[in-house]
Structure 1
Amino acid sequence: MALPPFLASIVEWLRAGYPEGVPEQDYVPLFALLARRLSDEEVAQVANALIENGDLPITQIDIAVLVSKITNNMPSPEDVDRVRRHLESSGWDTTEYEL
């Protein structure tokens, strides 16, 4: 299923920010950042696109668990800041996506 252009641009942005794939310690803070501006369904679509391309080495079941963790328990501010700094150090302006 093709993603809407806005979500496709987020997926490409994340691939550029994580050229080696998203490390395990960044899953929850990354999706927490995304969940600030995207619906749960949109977060799941982004995650599924990353899984299909091998950029996110987890399953769709893991994504459901992550979304549940995000909505029930936000990651620490330190984790969110670490992910934000990582993406910014890769040359991506996180303010562009209002994360």
Structure 2
Amino acid sequence: VRKIDESQYTFPEYCEKLKELNPEDSDCIDFCAEYIYAAVYANLTNLDDYTGKVIYQIRNSNAAVKDKDLLYGLIQVAYASVLFSQNLQFQSVSNN
């Protein structure tokens, strides 16, 4: 991802800018943006459970193994980023 001054944009604008600069990655950006939006703005009762369900969907999808691995890694980074930004304690998320 190319460097963007994210302070100039709202979250949706930032995601659109990322997609403009990285059109080949727009599907992954949309997927991660939806996860982050839900993790931050939805009234989730348990981020760990939600993340586990997202990972389960990725692992059990019919996507290519390469794409599954990429999405899994992106969600791991997004999860860690949300935890860090919200100053939450880390709890393990199942890899299944």
Greater relative contact order, per chain length (Cα 8 Å cut-off, separation 6+) = 1
How high is the TM-score relative to the length of structure 2? 0.39
How high is the TM-score relative to the length of structure 1? 0.38
